[in-house]
Amino acid sequence: MSPSPSFSVERIGIGPPLVLIPGAACGPAVWTQVTPLLEAAHELHLVSLAGFAGMRPVEPPLIPRWRNELAEYAARLDRPVIVGHSLGGSLSLAIGQHARNDVAAVVTVHGYPDHAAVLLPERTAEERHNHALIQAKAWGAKSELDFVSSLERSLVTMMNGDPCNVLRDMQSSDRQSVGQVMLELFALRVEGDLGVPVMALLPELEMRTAQFQAMAGCELHHIADAKHFIMLDQPKAVATLVRDFAKRVL
């Protein structure tokens, strides 16, 4: 199903709706381990974002368009819970704030309200922008071989298991879109009260929690034996937390 050129949706399962949004250069494969644990109790809307995992790219800006169009999509459902990983987590927070009357709650899986402030806490806004600009241009200019090599080096530090499925999606992503979304993510700031319940899932060793502690109504969980791709490293823990949270907010 393609509600918009900027994203497509695969729908599986029966029950109250969950919208699952992947991170940069990823597709629905990142949810492979948790979907069997959720689909018996929930209707799952597995989102693919333009430019990633083989989906045709669209013209930027990307994050504002995804936020607006996914918010419109959520409004056509029965108050879904929006679940996102990494970029998708930051995007889910933005959607929740933008469409608070149409969304029941938000779950962010290692995605932050202000990504730039977490990665570069000592830098000024201008320095963060310049850093993102350099990174965006570098990703867009990479050869196919360099692109794949960079992804492989990154992925082995981001998960405990086999990265093959995720790497396959990343290899089929548009390099210009990857660079562009990095630039936009550094500019994204979801500030203030979202107006909906929020649950944040972080790896056990992730201590950068101040943004969530300052967010009203945010429930924070650290997941043991997990890295950045928490839902692949610990699918049962993630599925249990999501199911229990959804029962309380729906």
Number of neighbouring beta carbons within 10 Å of residue 246: 23
pLDDT tens for each residue of 31-85: 999 999 999 999 999 999 999 999 999 999 999 999 999 999 999 999 999 999 9
The pLDDT value recorded for residue 144 is 82
Burial 18-43 (b: 16+ CB within 10 A, else e): bbbbbbbbbbbbbbebbbebbeebbb
Q: Please answer whether residues 174 and 83 qualify as being in contact, where contact means their C-beta atoms are separated by less than 8 angstroms.
A: no
Closest CA to 57 of 24, 83, 28: 24
Closest CA to 163 of 76, 91, 233: 233
pLDDT level of residue 117 (50, 70, 90 thresholds)? very high
Q: Which fold has domain 7-249?
A: Rossmann fold (3.40.50)
Domain boundaries, the chain: 7-249
Closest CA to 88 of 45, 125, 36: 45
pLDDT level of residue 1 (50, 70, 90 thresholds)? low
